Amino acid sequence: MSETETAATARRNDTLVVRGAEPADHEAIDGVVLGAYARYAGQLVPEVFSRYLDDVLDLGTHASYGRLLVAATPERVLGFAVFYPDSSVPDSGFPSGWAGVRVLAVYPGAGDADVRRALLGACERLAAEAGAPVLAIRTAGFMTDAIAGYERLGYRSAPEFDGTAPLRSVAHLRYVTQLYMNLAR
């Protein structure tokens, strides 16, 4: 069965679960991120794109600041997100006390909107449990389709924070876009 057929079967079976990532998931997470971000490869010069992916896939650093989450069916991992209870670390440019999503990736053909919604819902619950008034998302400005998806879910642009967050390995700040959702609705 192809990966697209597997993803379609997973959606029909409605077996998507968001859970904490385990070490055994790391290889699948790499596949999800590389598959999801492949469409953006032409947006940056190869050297910069490679450093960007290294930053996104630095699971050890992300785990030291937050929680690695996967959206999975019993058969496979379809999505990945990193939840930071304090989005101000490391150097995000967001205020201390806000929670954040630092990475969100959905495998192509895996029901992007449903998987994104499930992962963001889990992050919103974690943020609310942590008492954070806002869930912020740090993404790349060239990911216009992802940004549009976040906005459809109620996230709003936070241009006052754009360009304030240095990527640990990428100096091209103009590619950083910030979004947020006020959780006190």
DSSP string covering 84-146, please? ESSTTTTT-SSPTT-EEEEEEEE-TTS-HHHHHHHHHHHHHHHHHHTT-SEEEEEEETT-HHH
Read off the pLDDT of residues 49-67 as tens digits, 9 standing for 90 and up.
Answer: 888 899 889 999 999 999 9
For residues 2-18, average pLDDT: 54
Burial, 94: exposed, middle or buried (Cβ in 10 Å; 0-12, 13-18, 19+)? buried
Give whole-number Cα distances, 31 to 81, 100, 131, 148, in Å.
13, 23, 33, 23
Label residue 109 by pLDDT band (50, 70, 90).
confident
Residue 170 has pLDDT above 50, yes or no: no
| pLDDT greater at residue 3 or residue 107 | 107
Q: Is the pTM of this model over 0.75?
A: yes
pLDDT tens figures, 143-153: 888 888 888 88
pLDDT at residue 82, rounded to an integer: 94
Position with higher pLDDT, 181 vs 27 = 27
Say how many CA atoms lie within 13 Å of 27 toward its Cβ: 2
Least confident of 31-40, 76-85, 171-180: 171-180
Inter-residue contact 66 to 25 (CB < 8 Å): no
Residue 3 pLDDT greater than 60, yes or no: no
Tokens in use for 102? Answer: 């630092």
> Based on the number of CB atoms within 10 Å of its own CB, is 68 exposed (0-12), middle (13-18) or buried (19 or more)?
buried
Q: Are 136 and 172 in contact (CB under 8 A)?
A: no
Tell me which residue has tokens 């069916």: 73
Query: 104 pLDDT exceeds 80?
Result: yes
- Does 96 or 169 have the greater pLDDT score? 96
- pLDDT band at residue 2 using 50, 70 and 90 as cut-offs: very low
